[in-house]
Structure 1
Amino acid sequence: MTPRRQQILSTAADLFADRGFHGVSMGDIGAAVGVSGPALYKHFAGKEDILGQCLLHASDQLLAGARELLSDGGARAAVGRPEAGPAALTAEAAAAALEALIARHADFALDNPALIVVQEREWGALGADTRAQVRKRQLAYVEVWCDALRPLRPDLSAEQARAAVQAAFGLLNSTPHSARIGREAMRTLLTSMARASLLPDS
């Protein structure tokens, strides 16, 4: 992605989070990045496209980062393929991978509060095709987490593991609504709570 497109998406996410999707015009976005509204059409098809690209880019970042974490350090590059189930990771590798996944997601949520708000609040403003694309990436992201969790929680079924992971996401994504206690203190609190929710006996 070009720096200009990234700037537009980041600025639009801030505006959508602050005013709501329907309270922001192409002219508002253009003014915020220093171009005319019509000039934005060189980069995006319209406001809905900008919203969709915000969420698709966020989902792509999370998914690619998660897969990279689980393929590093001998954690088995096979993770992320349909045939790579929970047995693809040893318990030691799974524990390290889960810790890294929690930390990375906490960093993302703390660094991108506008995207978290937009994802939660503006889902209905996306077109059906874009919603399907975002959902596909989100479900793949959940499965990467499950590949790390299930070797550590053999008591959980696949469905229960997915539910536990999504509940942990809810906790980590609560950052825009959380009390401000400083970034590092908040990061420590979030990661410890997410870890405890997924591994209650740890």
Structure 2
Amino acid sequence: MARDQQILEAAEELFFQRSFDGVGVDEIGRAAGVSGSAIYRHFDSKDEILAVLFDQAIDGLLTLIPIPSEDPRLELSGLVSAHLEFANSRHRLAAIWAREQRSLAEPYRRSYQRRQHGYVQLWVECVSRCYPNRSDADVITAVRGVHALLMSEAVRPVGGRRSHRATTVLTEIALAGLATLDVTPAA
């Protein structure tokens, strides 16, 4: 394994356990088997490490997205499945992504927000095709709510109970929740 990846994996584990602010560069180095100062041969800062982890999160999500479908509801089901697959298969990274956005420093924040906006826009376009009578504001609100729901298992407290059917349950809730967009909005 490349040293960069060892550092990233060590940081991912530590940020997951104790938060970005709760971990120092020296600790990351020790966990990766190098000195804290050696990290600076691979990354400019702890902020850059977090930014690379965020890039990995977005990349992970984007690689799981299904090919667009003529049937927007089939596409939506695929988006839900992809998001859950990411949250389940990379739960530590997903939890960091969900919890540490406030810790992302400039200029990394701007770059990340552009990438995140592109991902959210895929959802917004799909949900808008499924529910064309809803406003953009309603669709965006629904997408954000569903994303929070789908990430809920990744941010579940360590040791918290997990249903063996969590993926199925969350998929059903997400799709049923979005289906409420079919109801005519109140004035």
Using structure 2 for the length normalisation, give the TM-score: 0.84
By how many angstroms is 1:32 displaced? 1.2
Q: Is residue 2:177 matched to residue 1:180? A: no
Per the alignment, in what secondary structure is the counterpart of residue 43 of structure 2? coil
Query: For each residue in 1:117-158, what CA deviation from the matched residue of structure 2 results, as whole angstroms up to 9, or x when unmatched?
Result: 323433332212111111111111111112222221112122
Q: Distance in 2 between matches of 1:36 and 1:126?
A: 24
Moved more, 109-118 or 136-145: 109-118
What is the alpha-carbon root mean square deviation over aligned residues?
A: 2.1
CA distance, structure 2, for counterparts of residue 100 and residue 121 of structure 1? 24
Q: Distance in 1 between matches of 2:3 and 2:92?
A: 18
- Which residues in structure 2 correspond to 1:1-202 (within 5 Å)? 3-66=2-65, 69-71=66-68, 75=69, 90=70, 92=71, 94-175=72-153, 176-177=155-156, 179-182=160-163, 184-200=164-180
Q: Report the secondary structure of 1:35's partner residue.
A: coil
Cα distance, 1:4 vs. partner? 4.1
Structure 1, unmatched stretches of 5+, are 76-89
1:168, distance to aligned residue in structure 2 (A)? 0.1
Q: Distance in 2 between matches of 1:144 and 1:3?
A: 33
- Residues 114 and 96 from structure 1, CA distance in 2 versus in 1: closer, same or farther, beyond 3 angstroms? same
> Which whole-Å CA distance do the structure 2 matches of 1:125 and 1:135 have between them?
13
Offset at 1:38? 2.1
Deviation at 1:45, TM superposition (A): 0.8
SS at match of 1:150: helix
Equivalent residues of 2:4, 2:42 under 8 A apart: yes
Q: Is the Cα–Cα contact under 8 Å of residues 98 and 151 in structure 2 kept in the other structure?
A: no
| Structure 2: distance between partners of 1:96 and 1:30 | 45
TM-score normalised by L of structure 1: 0.78
Which whole-Å CA distance do the structure 2 matches of 1:187 and 1:10 have between them?
A: 25
Amino acid at match of 1:151: R
Q: Indicate conservation of the 8 Å contact 1:5/1:43, yes or no.
A: yes
8 A contact 1:172–1:194 mirrored in 2: yes
Amino acid in the other structure paired with 2:120: V
8 Å CA contact retained: 2:13, 2:92: yes
The Cα of 1:169 is off from its aligned counterpart by 0.2
Structure 1 residues 3 and 196 mapped into 2: Cα distance closer, same or farther (>3 Å)?
farther
Q: 1:11: how far off?
A: 2.3
As a proportion of its length, which structure holds more helix? 1
Task: Name whichever of 109-118 and 129-138 sits farther off.
Answer: 109-118
